């Protein structure tokens, strides 16, 4: 069905001088959509041309509207020679296709050239008239809303969460096409930009189709990524969570409630009533008519009125092809590894494709596939949830797999590259199947891990890749969880009818901590205790998750950023050897990262990690691992024990002394951290005299006593240690295995490790940092925000580096980066760096690149100090000590097996013998008996499966636990939620409604304001403090390439990248402003690939950013400010007089 | 091992005022780091020298990038930038100048030749060469832009460079001096500050230029009103006509008598001083004499008065009566020109007569 796209070119300004003779420019504009091009008149001799063109009208399919960007090219007219391009603007039409989003795009867009950067601006008006298409067989999905935000967006309420949607599209990378050798860098860059824009459009459309099929109307937590695979192509893939969202009218009372409290807001949308009794009104409505699962029958061919989707009349631009999971899925079911499946599926798929040239069959297949898919992968990309949604959290599940890109080809077509060059379109047509199979495999693995943890769903799910030459590491991770089925579409989750876990409602502040797995049949050995909060159910001693801290969770003190950093050298190799080497290294890296995380967590006296993100990047001669998370002390979980240092040779006196010193340093650090993060676990008697007077005499200060065990019973293994000096704990000791986390110093490496543990400097006074949306323990944000992106590249000059040396360099790099942020942002104190998102890469052999995007937010210090007063109060009513049902032997077994690889591996790579590997496998067997083994590194012709070792490590981490603590049974009656709400209201009243200055210098400049320019705020978070989002305008997803051949003149790589990032910001702001918006939320920089060749004075950089464009108003304002509603010339025109 | 690349880009630019000033003052990155370290910024925020270096380099790069924008500030107002207020602030600082430096180049041709002499000026004034160059280029840039514009000079400068009123006035003075090539460098003029000259320039611009009568002419505020200069010749009658001169003197003396201690000197010098002032007026048709306007004022009027130890109050009194008395002269027909002339002269001399 057609739609009509109208565009009008109004004017340009500040164009560059294109004619040296006159110092002027004869500019005209080409407007292109699909294959239709219009031109404006030439505006002679002006740097500020007024074209005021007619409306250019494009009559196109709505499918094209979704896929294609509007391309605007500004050129300099030249009578005698070819016209010179000044630059381009790509406008994504998608926001106009949604009735609720923007209605017109109008504004000044920076004219961008891949060689020169921004060169002036152009004023454009774009409108779309869409004729509603009700054809069931359409290929378009106009109207499906997309959100990058990984929670239910403000001003919406989720009527239904349908589940996981994914899609990927593959194409040849123009940069690697033969034609690239003869065309200019500019043409090549533009081809690439345009192609990616097309592919993202197509991907979004296809995802949209899937959502429509599921009965949803929106995708939340939309995560789109590019894999630049080089020779083998370009993959654009996306995952998201399909939902049915209802708009909440902005005037409604609950809505305003939501916004007054940024802390609770990410999760709660329309309803703030306590989730215990208020679940029904939020999500309870069943919408059987609109959201029932599409039956395969419905999609079966009944009519043939629609045009075939793959008709040859398609514009030739549509070179990319997509995947159909359903097809690749069928032969795969029941198979442990996907390698052979992919191979078999190949010819079959080709066959299928030939047969499914008509829309109808295609349709039928995909719809049944969808159903399967949703059932197959109960994954949710959301990281924070409406109250009551999340029932229990099991732990982190992750999977990694190493693949050889080189090997992807379709056996049916042979593998000659020349063939590809001749007709690569037909070759690439089958690639997505291979990629799909890869991801399919990983998702299966994730799913089985979740099952092993007794969970039926995975939340906070994300996928990523790291590519170096022909090797690619695919990673996926998430948090195994049990969700409340009543919010889910039927059939979305596999829930046994016998499931008892939903029966007894747990208090929201601790319920999610309760173990989802069966305590008698645990997937891994862990120390369980009764919840310190409600005393009714079991909790693990440590909890790792990839999600944000649930807003209703009870937390003690503040949180902090915890990072584990690791470098591993690797021999340079090619092909399979390389892939094998990498896949052998992976499990050790994950293990060490987790050990580091665990140690650092203990060092901070915390017991849970949120927002855990582990990135492993592959380079030619090394692997980099970076794990970031936000540590907190969950009140419901037991207090962590200390860290115990053990020496291998107890006889050695000097050694003994050394160990004592280290032990002292560790103890001091723990004590200091406790104070720093205000971790004062509730003192049971002190806070609750009622209980004190009550029955229970045995209320010990288990969690309060010195967390540092006496170095009395030094032992090599995780053995028991007494942990506090008072007699009561002596009693506890009798119950056997108690805590104490032992670090063994048996070689220099271990010493180094411990030193590195202690080198992490705490943030300076007044600063906090976290990688989650908001900082646990800070509730009173003021409105000062500063979003920033920082990139650092470090060159390793020393060729003979050791792993330890590398580790130190890498750690210093990250630490210094953080220190720089603190220093730069010192004028914002007190403030918190939120959503610190680190991305590491190894762009070249001796380079380490770290890119960070984060936001600094100010908060009210006074109130922050008041906060601890309203800590949840635990009422322990009875003491019931139980011994966990773990055979000691198994535990010892496991721990010995665990320590083995760590001590051996930490030294050199060469130690990674098959024996070590075997040991790994055994470990896996012990921990996850239910997980299908796929570690065999077999070399198959079509697609080699290098075994996704991965994930094991993720579950290992649960192994590395502090043992022990007595178990208490008790009941908790917390009123924290209501308290914090009340508190937030008061905090709002107190905080100034005016956006405070970001820095001192800004503040001083505020008095000056000749003409006002709309400031477009940007934040990686889903909200802005003190500001209410009133409308979502659509997704911003932009891809830019910048290249230079005059690197020195542009200030070197730093100057080049600095101005490029600044330009990207400016372009994002301009596009948001043109949509009528004034802020970008959930902003992220997905990709920042920098290639440099200083010798040739050249550099190239690719940046991909995304976010949600929104209109927001200050909390106090009822209406959007004038400049916002006036969509005409919002952003850039200087409104004189307005302030 | 080295940091190859290190950038920090905020959605709104973070600018450290102290570093900005160091940059403007022409400090190198390393020197700036030293200065900052001595300033104790490290202790304040628990940072290391590396952090400081990185921050300083980053700030310098930011400034260099902003510099392009600052050169054509009119674009700033349109730029889709979150940094508008910040840029405006930095703009003021960027276009700010050292009085000591401007004093050296005031009235000189803003040519390459002068630019070559900047190192001497730098050595003399203690302003770093980098800073001198920036200031010099700023003068030149402003001069070039407003040269071809119609309308009031100060207003033009303010609009095109988004400068504050005060700064725009100072730049107008510089442009005016440069255009008319007023001599300011002579030893006798050394005691005058830039602000003295700027004030005088303001007076001249407001009263003696074409713009004072017609505000839509090109260069209206830069060129002196030729017709007016021509008319000034008529004033000569005040000194050539002996009767008139005597009459004028007696009127002034009557008015002054008993009001000042310097009366005797005033009486004795009246003819000399009057000749001096009127001669200056009469000669202004020559470009050469225009250039020497200030030096003439000093030589012909200020120096004699100073040697007679007139106080500033004496000066004020004398000039007021000198001007007013001319109106009473029956035969003196050029009252309008006289007022236009003496109004400026009076305020200039008040400003230039330092005790």
Beta carbons of A122 and A111 less than 8 angstroms apart: yes
Cβ contact, residue pair A825, B14, below 8 Å: yes
pLDDT value of residue A743: 64
pLDDT value of residue A871: 35
Dist. CA B100–CA B103, nearest whole Å: 5
Nearest residue on chain A to B50, alpha-carbon basis = A816
| Window 5-44 of B, Cβ < 8 Å to A | 5-12, 14-17, 44
**Chain segment A377-433, per-residue pLDDT in tens:** 889 999 988 888 888 888 899 999 998 886 444 443 333 333 333 334 444 444 567
Nearest residue on chain A to B46, alpha-carbon basis = A764
pLDDT value of residue B159: 83
For A27, the 3-state DSSP assignment is strand
pLDDT value of residue A1044: 92
Place of tokens 């680190």: A838
Nearest residue on chain B to A805, alpha-carbon basis = B1
Residue of A473, A476, A475 whose CA lies nearest to A579? A473
Beta carbons of A29 and A74 less than 8 angstroms apart: yes
In order of A414, A733, A935, the CA distances from A709 in angstroms are: 65, 12, 39
Prior bond to A959 cis, omega within 30?
no
Among the partner residues A14, A794, A1013, nearest to B84 by beta-carbon distance: A1013
Beta carbons of A161 and A27 less than 8 angstroms apart: no
End-to-end CA distance of chain B: 64
Burial class (CB in 10 A: 0-12, 13-18, 19+), A764: middle
In order of A560, A676, A828, B43, the CA distances from A831 in angstroms are: 13, 15, 6, 19
Interface test with A, best of B2, B3, B5, B67 (most A CBs within 10 A): B5
Residue A781 backbone phi and psi in degrees, to 5: -70, 140
| Chain B residues with beta carbon closer than 8 angstroms to that of A820 | 8, 51, 54-55
**Chain segment A161-199, per-residue pLDDT in tens:** 888 999 988 888 887 777 767 788 888 899 899 999 999
Residue of A459, A447, A452, A478 whose CA lies nearest to A390? A459
In order of A901, B120, B125, B129, the CA distances from B132 in angstroms are: 65, 10, 10, 5
Cβ contact, residue pair A788, B46, below 8 Å: no
For B172, the 3-state DSSP assignment is helix
CB atoms within 10 A of CB B40: 8
Edge-to-edge strand list for the sheet holding A321-322 = A145-146, A218-228, A234-247, A156-171, A321-322
For range A29-37, the mean pLDDT: 92
Dist. CA A480–CA A544, nearest whole Å: 10
pLDDT value of residue B317: 86
Beta carbons of A569 and A799 less than 8 angstroms apart: no
Q: Please indicate whether residue A290 or residue B119 has the higher confidence score (pLDDT).
A: B119
B46 — contact with chain A (CB < 8 Å)? yes
Write down the H helix ranges in A417-470.
417-428, 431-452
In order of A40, A101, A783, A941, B149, the CA distances from A4 in angstroms are: 19, 17, 42, 49, 47
Beta carbons of B14 and A998 less than 8 angstroms apart: yes
Dist. CA A500–CA A519, nearest whole Å: 13
Dist. CA B261–CA B305, nearest whole Å: 13
Handedness of CA B112, B113, B114, B116 (dihedral sign): positive
For range A1099-1104, the mean pLDDT: 93
Cβ contact, residue pair A788, B10, below 8 Å: yes
Q: What percent of chain A has pLDDT over 70?
A: 60
Tokens of B281: 């007026």
| Average pLDDT of the residues of chain A | 68
pLDDT band at A524 (very low <50, low <70, confident <90, very high): low
pLDDT value of residue A955: 31
Cβ contact, residue pair A1059, B12, below 8 Å: no
Q: Please indicate whether residue B247 or residue A966 has the higher confidence score (pLDDT).
A: B247
pLDDT band at A782 (very low <50, low <70, confident <90, very high): confident
| Chain A residues with beta carbon closer than 8 angstroms to that of B14 | 786, 824-825, 827, 998-999, 1001
Residue of B112, B107, B68, B122 whose CA lies nearest to B91? B68
pLDDT value of residue A523: 65
A463-467, A704-708, A830-834, B214-218: least confident range: A704-708
Among A329-333, A791-795, A1133-1137, the range with the most confident prediction by mean pLDDT is A791-795
Residue A378 backbone phi and psi in degrees, to 5: -80, 65
Dist. CA B244–CA B270, nearest whole Å: 13
Dist. CA A315–CA B190, nearest whole Å: 78
Cβ contact, residue pair A795, B2, below 8 Å: yes
Question: A584 CA to chain B: closest CA distance, Å?
Answer: 28
Which residues in chain B land under pLDDT 50?
none
Structure-derived torsion over alpha carbons of residues A680, A681, A686, A692, reported in degrees to the nearest 10: -170
- Angle made by CA atoms A368, A373, A379, in degrees to the nearest 5: 155
H or E segment to which residue A655 belongs:
helix A653-676
Question: B260 CA to chain A: closest CA distance, Å?
Answer: 48
Q: Is pLDDT at A101 greater than 90 in this prediction?
A: no
H or E segment to which residue A167 belongs:
strand A156-171
A658-672, A957-971, B129-143, B201-215: least confident range: A957-971
Overall size of chain A counted in residues: 1139
**Chain segment A718-739, per-residue pLDDT in tens:** 323 333 333 332 333 223 333 4
End-to-end CA distance of chain A: 46
pLDDT value of residue A51: 93
Place of tokens 């240690």: A721
A48-57, A130-139, A300-309, A741-750: least confident range: A300-309
Tokens of A335: 């198979």
Q: Using only C-alpha atoms, what is the Rg of chain B?
A: 25
Cβ contact, residue pair A788, B79, below 8 Å: no
Among the partner residues B47, B64, B89, nearest to A1001 by beta-carbon distance: B89
pLDDT value of residue A732: 32
- Please name the residues in contact with A1114: beta carbons below 8 A apart, sequence gap of 6 or more: A783, A993, A994, A995, A1026, A1027, A1028
pLDDT band at A240 (very low <50, low <70, confident <90, very high): very high
Question: B171 CA to chain A: closest CA distance, Å?
Answer: 19
Q: Is pLDDT at A1024 greater than 60 in this prediction?
A: yes
Dist. CA A489–CA A728, nearest whole Å: 51
Q: Is pLDDT at A592 greater than 70 in this prediction?
A: yes
pLDDT value of residue A72: 95
pLDDT value of residue A863: 53
Dist. CA A830–CA A832, nearest whole Å: 7
pLDDT value of residue B57: 92
């Amino acid at each position: 069905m057609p739609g009509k796209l109208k565009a009008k070119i109004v004017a340009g300004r500040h164009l560059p001088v294109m004619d040296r003779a006159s110092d002027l420019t004869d500019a005209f504009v080409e407007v292109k959509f699909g294959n239709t091009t219009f031109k404006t008149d030439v505006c002679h001799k002006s740097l500020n041309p007024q074209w005021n063109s007619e409306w250019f009208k494009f009559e196109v399919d709505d499918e094209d509207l979704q896929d294609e960007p509007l391309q605007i090219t500004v050129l300099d007219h030249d009578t005698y020679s070819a016209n010179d391009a000044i630059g381009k603007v790509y406008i994504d039409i998608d926001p106009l296709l949604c009735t609720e989003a923007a209605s017109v795009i109008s504004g000044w867009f920076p004219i961008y050239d891949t060689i020169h950067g921004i060169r002036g601006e152009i004023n454009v008006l774009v409108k779309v008239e869409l004729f509603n298409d009700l054809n069931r067989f359409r290929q378009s999905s106009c109207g499906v809303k997309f959100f990058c935000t990984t929670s239910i967006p403000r001003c919406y309420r989720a009527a239904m969460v349908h589940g996981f949607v994914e899609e990927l599209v593959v194409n040849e990378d123009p940069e690697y096409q033969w034609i690239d050798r003869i065309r200019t860098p500019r043409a090549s860059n533009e081809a690439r930009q345009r192609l990616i824009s097309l592919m993202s459009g197509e991907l979004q459309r296809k995802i949209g189709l899937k959502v429509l099929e599921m009965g949803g109307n929106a995708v939340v937590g939309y995560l789109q990524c590019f894999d630049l695979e080089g020779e083998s192509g370009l993959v654009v893939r996306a995952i998201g969570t399909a939902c049915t969202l209802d708009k909440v009218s902005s005037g409604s009372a609950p809505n305003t409630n939501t916004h007054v409290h940024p802390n609770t807001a990410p999760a709660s949308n329309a309803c703030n009533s306590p989730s215990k009794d208020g679940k029904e009104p939020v999500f309870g409505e069943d919408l059987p008519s609109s959201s029932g699962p599409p039956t395969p029958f419905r999609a079966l061919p009944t009519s043939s009125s629609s045009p075939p989707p793959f008709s040859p009349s398609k514009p030739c631009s549509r070179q990319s092809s997509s995947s159909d999971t359903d097809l690749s899925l069928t032969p795969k079911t029941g198979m442990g590894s996907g390698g052979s499946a992919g191979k078999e599926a190949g010819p079959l798929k080709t066959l299928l494709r030939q047969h499914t040239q008509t829309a109808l069959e295609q349709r039928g297949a995909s719809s049944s596939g969808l159903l399967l898919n949703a059932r197959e992968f109960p994954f949710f990309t959301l990281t924070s949830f409406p109250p009551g949604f999340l029932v229990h959290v099991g732990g982190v599940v992750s999977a990694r797999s190493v693949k050889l890109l080189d090997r992807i080809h379709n056996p049916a077509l042979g593998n000659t590259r020349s063939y590809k060059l001749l007709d690569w379109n037909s070759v690439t047509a089958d690639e997505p199947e291979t990629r799909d199979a890869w991801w399919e495999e990983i998702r299966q693995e994730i799913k089985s891990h979740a099952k092993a943890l007794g969970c039926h769903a995975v939340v906070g799910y994300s996928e990523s890749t790291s590519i170096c030459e022909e090797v690619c590491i695919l990673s996926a991770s998430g948090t195994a969880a049990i969700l409340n089925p009543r919010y889910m579409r039927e059939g979305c989750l596999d829930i046994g009818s016998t499931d008892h876990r939903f029966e007894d409602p747990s208090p929201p502040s601790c319920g999610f901590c309760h173990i989802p797995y069966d305590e008698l049949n645990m997937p891994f050995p862990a120390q369980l205790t009764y919840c310190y909060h409600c005393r009714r159910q079991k909790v693990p001693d440590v909890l790792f998750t990839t999600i944000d801290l649930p807003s209703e969770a009870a937390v003690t003190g503040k949180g902090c950023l915890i990072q584990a950093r690791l470098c591993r050298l690797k021999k340079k190799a090619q092909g399979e050897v390389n892939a094998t080497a990498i896949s052998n290294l992976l499990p050790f890296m994950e293990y060490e990262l987790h050990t580091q995380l665990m140690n650092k967590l203990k060092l901070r006296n915390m017991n849970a990690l949120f927002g855990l993100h582990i990135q492993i990047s592959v380079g030619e001669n090394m692997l980099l691992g970076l794990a970031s998370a936000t540590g907190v002390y969950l009140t419901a979980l037991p207090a962590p024990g200390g860290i115990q240092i053990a020496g291998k040779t107890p006889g050695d006196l000097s050694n003994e002394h050394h160990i004592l010193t280290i032990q002292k340093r560790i103890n001091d650090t723990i004590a200091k951290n406790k104070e720093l993060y205000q971790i004062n676990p509730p003192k049971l008697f002190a806070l609750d005299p009622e209980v004190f007077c009550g029955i229970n005499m045995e209320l010990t200060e288990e969690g309060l006593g010195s967390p540092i065990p006496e170095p009395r019973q030094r032992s090599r293994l995780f053995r028991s240690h007494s942990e506090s000096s008072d007699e009561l704990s002596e009693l506890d000791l009798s119950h056997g295995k108690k805590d104490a986390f032992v670090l063994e110093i048996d070689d220099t490496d271990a010493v180094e490790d411990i030193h590195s543990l202690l080198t992490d400097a705490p943030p300076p006074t007044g600063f906090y940092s976290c990688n989650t949306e908001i900082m646990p323990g800070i509730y009173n944000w003021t409105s000062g925000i500063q979003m920033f992106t920082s990139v650092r590249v470090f060159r390793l000059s020393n060729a003979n580096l050791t792993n330890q040396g590398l580790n130190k360099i890498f750690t210093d790099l990250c630490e210094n980066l953080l220190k720089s942020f603190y220093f730069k942002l010192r004028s914002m104190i007190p403030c918190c760096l939120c959503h610190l998102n680190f991305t590491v890469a190894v762009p070249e052999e001796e380079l380490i690149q770290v890119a960070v995007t984060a936001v600094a937010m100010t908060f009210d210090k006074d109130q922050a100090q008041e906060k601890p007063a309203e800590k949840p109060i635990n009422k322990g009513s009875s003491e019931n000590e139980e011994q966990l049902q773990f055979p000691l032997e198994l535990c010892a077994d496991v721990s010995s097996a665990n320590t083995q690889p760590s001590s051996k591996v930490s030294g050199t790579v060469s130690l990674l013998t098959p024996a070590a590997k075997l040991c790994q496998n055994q470990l896996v067997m012990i921990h996850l008996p239910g997980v299908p083994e796929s570690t065999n590194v077999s070399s198959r012709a079509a697609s080699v499966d290098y075994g996704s070792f991965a994930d094991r490590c993720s579950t290992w981490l649960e192994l590395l636990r502090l043992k022990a603590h007595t178990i208490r049974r008790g009941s908790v009656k917390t009123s924290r939620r209501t308290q914090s709400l009340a508190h937030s209201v008061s905090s709002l009243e107190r905080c100034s409604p005016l956006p405070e200055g970001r820095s001192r210098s800004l503040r001083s400049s505020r008095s000056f304001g000749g003409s006002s320019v709309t400031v477009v705020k940007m934040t990686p978070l889903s909200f802005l403090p003190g500001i209410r989002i009133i409308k979502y305008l659509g997704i911003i997803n932009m891809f830019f390439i910048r290249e230079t051949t005059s690197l020195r003149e542009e200030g070197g790589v730093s100057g080049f990248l600095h101005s490029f990032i600044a330009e990207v910001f400016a372009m994002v702001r301009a596009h948001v402003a043109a949509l009528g918006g004034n802020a970008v939320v959930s902003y992220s920089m997905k990709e920042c690939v920098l290639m440099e060749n200083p010798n040739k004075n050249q550099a190239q950089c690719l940046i991909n950013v995304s976010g949600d464009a929104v209109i927001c108003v200050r909390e106090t304002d009822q209406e959007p400010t004038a400049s916002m509603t006036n969509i005409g010339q919002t952003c850039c025109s200087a409104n004189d007089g307005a302030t | 091992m080295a940091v190859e690349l290190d950038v920090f880009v905020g959605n709104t630019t973070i600018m450290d005022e102290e570093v900005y000033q160091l940059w403007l003052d022409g400090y190198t990155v390393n020197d700036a780091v030293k200065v900052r370290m001595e300033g104790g910024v490290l202790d304040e925020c628990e940072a290391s020298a590396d952090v400081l270096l990185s921050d300083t380099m980053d700030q310098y790069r930011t400034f260099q990038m902003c510099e392009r924008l600052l050169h054509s500030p009119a674009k700033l107002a349109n730029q889709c930038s979150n940094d508008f207020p910040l840029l405006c602030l930095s703009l003021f600082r960027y276009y700010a100048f050292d009085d000591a430096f401007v004093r050296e180049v005031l009235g000189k041709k803003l040519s390459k030749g002068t630019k070559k002499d900047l190192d001497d000026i730098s050595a003399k004034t203690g302003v770093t060469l980098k800073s001198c160059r920036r200031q010099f280029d700023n003068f030149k840039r402003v001069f070039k832009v407003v040269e071809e514009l119609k309308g009031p000079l100060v207003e033009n400068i303010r609009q095109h460079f988004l400068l504050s009123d005060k700064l725009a006035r100072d730049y107008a003075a510089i442009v005016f001096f440069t255009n008319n090539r007023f001599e300011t460098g002579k030893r006798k003029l050394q005691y005058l500050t830039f602000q003295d000259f700027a004030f005088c320039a303001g007076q001249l611009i407001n009263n003696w230029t074409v713009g004072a009568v017609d505000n839509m002419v090109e260069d209206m505020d830069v060129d002196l009103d030729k017709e007016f200069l021509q008319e000034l010749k008529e004033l000569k009658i005040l000194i050539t006509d002996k009767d008139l001169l005597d009459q004028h003197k007696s009127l002034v003396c009557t008015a002054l008598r008993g009001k000042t201690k310097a009366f005797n000197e005033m009486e004795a010098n009246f003819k000399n001083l009057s000749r001096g002032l009127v001669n200056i007026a009469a000669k202004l048709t020559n470009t050469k004499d225009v250039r020497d306007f200030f030096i003439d004022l000093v030589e012909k009027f200020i120096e004699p008065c100073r040697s007679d130890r007139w106080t500033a109050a004496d000066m004020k009194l004398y000039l007021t009566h000198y001007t007013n008395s001319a109106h009473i002269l029956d035969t003196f027909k050029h009252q309008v020109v006289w007022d236009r002339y003496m109004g400026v002269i009076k305020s200039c001399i008040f400003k230039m007569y330092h005790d």
